[in-house]
Amino acid sequence: MTAGKSRPRLSITIMVEDFFISYIGNTMLNKIGKIKQSAINDIQTIRSLSDLDNYRIKYLARKGLVADLFDELRNVSAEERPHIGKIANELRNQVQSLFDEKKQNLESNVKHEQKRLDLTLPGRLSWVGTQHPLTQTLDEIKRIFFRMGFGIATGPEIEDDYHNFEALNFPPDHPARDMQDTFFISDKVLLRTHTSPVQIRIMENQPPPVRVIIPGRVYRNEAVSARSYCLFHQVEGLYIDEGVTFSELKGTLVAFAKEFYGSDIKYRFRPSYFPFTEPSAEMDITCFLCKGKGCRMCKQTGWLEILGCGMVDPNVYKFVGYDPEKYSGYAFGMGIERITLLRYSIDDIRILFENDVRFLKQF
Ligand code: DAH
């Protein structure tokens, strides 16, 4: 081969249909025909947009078969070039429109796929958490006492003997101090057995007037059964001011009970004993299941005990430095579990602590 600027042109001409064409021209026309056929065949096999991109690279890209063809057009003689160029152009347009049409089809399939809805599928439930029944009871109690002007206070669950017993006027040999009831951590440190020690902590830290409720967890070393658990919750109440009377205690608790249990309940206060109150009482309401006739829930008595209460014993004031001549007040305490079990007719206290969603989601 000799190197030169222009390649030697073959001058062979052949007859194609009605006119003569050069060998090179003929080769070009054949090539165009082959590309066209393969472009048509290929397009039919394409199923995805990424297949289609390969197709574009093969035929339409800068180095694709169609572009090659236009490169080769330079070899065609000036007389034949317009004719063959026109056919090459037609090929390019055809391949481009095959490509465009396929692209549109594939894209609309994708959209259709995305929009396709299966109306027979069951709806998806979103799981919404529910409040624990104890929290619901507690919130309701808080709401009622807040409206009556009570504030809220809390205290530690790990207590010392002084706050849990001594300052609450428990004598040294009181049975509640027994190891049987109390979880001792060490000789003088224990898990609080009631929320009453927070009364002492509040009075130690602020002068009267005091008007708070004290919700919290308490612990007792009892045999676990359907009726008792090693931990439970109480709400304590404390009101101290000048001239607070027992009738205010009754009025407040009756208002609470009517709001919480319903205005049609009957109630009674029975004399009782707590070391830190004098006089002390327990409050009963008519059983809301049998309306006082007597049933299993109220053990046939018609009454349910709902809380303990009383006037704060002057001995307690001595421990916290309040003047018993100037101030008087009342305290009360109720168990949240008991109320909750009664309210929702749940017959086993342990279920409140298992956190089984199948139980909890019913509330
Ligand atoms: N702390 C008592 C208990 O756990 C409940 C109680 C009774 C609290 C009378 C009080 C009260 O504040 O005045 O059984």
Query: Counting Cβ atoms within 10 Å, is residue 2 exposed (0-12), middle (13-18) or buried (19+)?
Result: exposed
- On whether the CB atoms of residues 185 and 191 are closer than 8 A, the answer is yes
With 80 as the cut, is the pLDDT of residue 305 above it? Answer: yes
Q: Separation of 351 CA from ligand 1 center, angstroms? A: 25
The pLDDT of residue 246 is 97
Phi, psi of 275 (to 5 degrees): -60, -30
The tokens describing 102, both together, are 């396929």
State pLDDT tens for residues 216-267: 999 999 899 998 999 999 999 999 999 999 999 999 999 999 999 999 999 9
User: DSSP letter string over 308-355?
Assistant: EEEEEPHHHHHHHT--TTT-EEEEEEEEHHHHHHHHHT---TTHHHH-
**Nearest protein Cα to ligand 1, atom 5:** 333
Instruction: Place 89 in a pLDDT band, splitting at 50, 70 and 90.
Output: very high
What average pLDDT does the structure give for the chain? 90
Rounded CA separation 165/160 (Å) = 8
Q: Separation of 277 CA from ligand 1 center, angstroms? A: 9
Shortest CA distance to 363 belongs to which of 130, 178, 205, 78? 130
Domains of the chain, by residue range, sit at 2-116, 133-360
Rg for the chain (alpha carbons), in Å?
46
State pLDDT tens for residues 171-228: 988 887 776 689 999 999 999 999 999 999 999 999 999 999 999 999 999 899 998 9
Query: Counting Cβ atoms within 10 Å, is residue 301 exposed (0-12), middle (13-18) or buried (19+)?
Result: middle
Rounded CA separation 243/241 (Å) = 6
Task: Give the architecture-level CATH label for domain 133-360.
Answer: 2-Layer Sandwich (3.30)
In the block, tokens 């439930």 appear at 125
Instruction: Place 101 in a pLDDT band, splitting at 50, 70 and 90.
Output: very high
**Nearest protein Cα to ligand 1, atom 8:** 333
pTM over 0.85: no
- On whether the CB atoms of residues 270 and 324 are closer than 8 A, the answer is no
Q: Separation of 332 CA from ligand 1 center, angstroms? A: 6
Can you name the residues that pair with 159 across neighbouring β-strands? 190
Rounded CA separation 196/238 (Å) = 9
Ligand 1 atom, smallest distance to 330 CA = 13
Q: Separation of 292 CA from ligand 1 center, angstroms? A: 25
State pLDDT tens for residues 70-81: 999 898 888 888
State pLDDT tens for residues 141-151: 999 999 999 99
3-state secondary structure of 238: strand
Shortest CA distance to 317 belongs to which of 178, 204, 172, 188? 204
Instruction: Place 1 in a pLDDT band, splitting at 50, 70 and 90.
Output: very low
Residue type, 77: S
Ligand 1 in contact with 333 (CB < 6 A)?
A: yes
Euclidean distance between the first and final Cα of the chain, in Å?
A: 95
Higher pLDDT, 4 or 264: 264
Count of residues for the chain?
363
The pLDDT of residue 2 is 43
Rounded CA separation 317/204 (Å) = 10
Instruction: Place 35 in a pLDDT band, splitting at 50, 70 and 90.
Output: very high
Higher pLDDT, 10 or 336: 336
Instruction: Give just the sign of the alpha carbon dihedral 17, 18, 22, 24.
Output: negative
With 60 as the cut, is the pLDDT of residue 85 above it? Answer: yes
| Strand (E) or helix (H) holding 38 | helix 23-45
Instruction: Place 112 in a pLDDT band, splitting at 50, 70 and 90.
Output: confident
- On whether the CB atoms of residues 182 and 216 are closer than 8 A, the answer is no
**Nearest protein Cα to ligand 1, atom 3:** 194
The pLDDT of residue 18 is 55
